[in-house]
Chain A
Amino acid sequence: MELKRVVVTGLGALTPVGNTVAGYWDGLSNGVSGAAPITRFDASKFKTQFACEVKGYDAENYFDRKEARKMDLFTQFAMVVADEAVQDANLVEGNYDPDRVGVIWGSGIGGLRTFQEECVNFAHGDGTPRFNPFFIPKMIADISAGHISIKHGFRGPNFVTVSACASATNAIIDSFNYIRLGMADVVVTGGSEAAVTEAGIGGFNALKALSERNDAPHAASRPFDKDRDGFVLGEGAGALILEEYEHAKKRGAKIYAEVIGGGMSADAYHITAPHPEGLGALNVMKNVLRDANIRPEEVDYINVHGTSTPLGDISEVKAIQTVFGEHAYKLNISSTKSMTGHLLGAAGAIEAVASILAIQNNLVPPTINHFTDDESFDPALNFTFNKAQEREVKIALSNTFGFGGHNTSVLFRQLND
Chain B
Amino acid sequence: MSEIAEKVKAIIIDKLGVEESEVTPEASFTNDLGADSLDTVELIMEFEKEFNVSIPDDQAENIATVGQAVSYLEEHAK
| Chain A positions near chain B (C-beta within 8 angstroms) | 64-67, 69, 130, 132-134, 137
Which candidate, B3-11, B20-28, B38-46, B66-74, is the interface stretch facing chain A?
B38-46
Give the contacting residue for B17; candidates A65, A130, A137; CB below 8 A.
A65
Asked whether, in the complex, the Cβ of A133 is within 8 Å of the Cβ of B38, the reply is: yes
Knowing A133-B38, A134-B38, A137-B38 touch, does A66 contact B17 (C-beta < 8 A)? yes
**Complex contact A130–B45 (CB within 8 A):** yes
| Sample (8) of A-B pairs whose CB atoms are under 8 Å apart | A65-B17, A66-B16, A67-B17, A69-B15, A130-B48, A132-B45, A133-B38, A137-B38
Cβ contact of B42, chosen from A64, A65, A67, A134, cutoff 8 A: A134
Contact A133 B41 (CB under 8 A): yes
Complex Cα–Cα for A137 and B49 (A): 21
Give the shortest distance, in Å, between B20 (CB) and chain A (any CB). 14
Min Cβ gap A321→B in Å is: 54
For residue B33, give the distance in angstroms from its CB to the closest CB of chain A: 10
CB distance from B10 to the nearest CB of A (A): 14
Question: Which residues of chain A come closer than 8 Å to B16, judged between CB atoms?
Answer: 66
Q: Which residues on the B side are within 8 Å of A66 (C-beta)?
A: 15-17
Extra contacts, 17 of them, besides A67-B17, A133-B41 (Cβ < 8 A), are A64-B17, A65-B17, A66-B15, A66-B16, A66-B17, A69-B15, A130-B45, A130-B48, A130-B49, A132-B42, A132-B45, A133-B38, A133-B42, A133-B45, A134-B38, A134-B42, A137-B38
Chain A's nearest CB lies how many Å from the CB of B32? 15
A138 shortest CB reach to chain B, Å: 10
